[in-house]
């Protein structure tokens, strides 16, 4: 069992749910990355998802797109983020999950990317534009490492597709809660509860709900239907506004039921 899954299951054993916050690396400058990670860890994050700025995102909503643009304007790249994480290795004890699109990985080279992630101690990888049929590109090389290749599962997935995707899932399944991009949602469709129930029935690893979760009430609502939640846009926006109290309240919202993990 890889460390990311182990941490989530420890929460479950304690009767809590996992909470993973998402941040955009380099938004506000790479020099702020360590402080953000340490703050989220102190607040109680189970793990933290670190987004890499990309010029042509397909899953990011307005808040995260703007954060990515600010990071890109600061000259932030995947390679620079990895170098920064190497510099602060050992300072943060919660597992770190990197979310990036496939093209920056190919630019570095798959083998080089995986080797660098191993050196740093990265616990998981999320690649939104890597389809199941092509995941052997990384999956095979990740075997024998502590790095989990974490799949995303959409609301439109059939039961057969769910079974195919979860069969090789590692760490946790990222169950997308809306049809579309990330961003604050006022409410979620009535089909979501049944969808999460179906995913949990077929998945051998924990199931975390993400996309659109932005309030303490939604953390509790979605957390009750999954093994944990991933929160991104609300975290990114609050960091941009330097509203650390809102982040703390959000993470602690379901403290009796959750322990947190950071993302989109």
Which residues have a catalytic role annotated? 49, 60
SS3 assignment, position 209:
strand
Q: CA distances (Å), 33 to each of 85, 147, 242, in order?
A: 9, 21, 14
Task: Output the six-digit token pair for 107.
Answer: 């630019």
The residue assigned the tokens 């790095």 is 147
100 with 107: CB under 8 angstroms? no
- Burial code (b: 16+ CB inside 10 Å, e: under 16) for 99-114 equals bbbbebbeebeeeebb
Report which secondary-structure segment, H or E, holds 174. strand 173-176
Q: What are phi and psi of 185, to 5 degrees?
A: -120, 135
Phi and psi at 42, nearest 5°, equal -65, -35
* CA distance linking residue 208 with residue 191, whole number of Å: 16
Cα 76 from Cα 177, distance rounded (Å): 29
At 168, is the secondary structure helix, strand, or coil? coil
131: left (phi over 0), alpha (psi -120 to 50) or beta: beta
């Amino acid at each position: 069992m890889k460390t990311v899954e182990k941490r989530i299951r420890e929460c479950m054993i304690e009767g809590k749910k996992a909470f993973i916050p998402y941040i955009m690396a380099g938004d506000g400058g790479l020099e702020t990355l360590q402080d953000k990670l340490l703050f989220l860890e102190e607040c109680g994050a189970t793990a933290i998802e670190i987004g890499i700025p990309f010029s042509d995102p397909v899953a990011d909503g307005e808040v995260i797109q703007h954060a990515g643009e600010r990071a890109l304007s600061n000259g932030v790249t995947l390679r620079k983020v990895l170098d920064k994480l190497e510099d602060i290795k050992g300072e943060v004890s919660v597992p770190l999950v990197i979310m990036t699109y496939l093209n920056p990985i190919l630019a570095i080279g798959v083998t080089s990317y995986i080797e660098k992630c191993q050196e740093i101690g990265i616990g998981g990888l999320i690649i939104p534009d890597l389809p199941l049929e092509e995941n052997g590109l990384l999956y095979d090389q990740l075997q024998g490492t502590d790095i989990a290749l974490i799949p995303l599962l959409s609301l439109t997935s059939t039961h057969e597709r769910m079974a195919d995707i979860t069969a090789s899932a590692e760490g946790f399944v990222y169950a997308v809660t809306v049809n579309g991009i990330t961003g604050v949602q006022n409410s979620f469709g009535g089909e979501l509860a049944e969808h999460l129930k179906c995913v949990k029935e077929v998945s051998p690893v924990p199931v975390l709900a993400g996309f659109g979760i932005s309030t303490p009430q939604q953390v509790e609502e979605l957390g009750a239907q999954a093994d944990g939640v991933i929160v991104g846009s609300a975290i990114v926006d609050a960091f941009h506004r330097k509203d650390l109290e809102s982040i703390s309240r959000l993470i602690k919202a379901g403290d009796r039921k959750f322990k947190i993990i950071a993302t989109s």
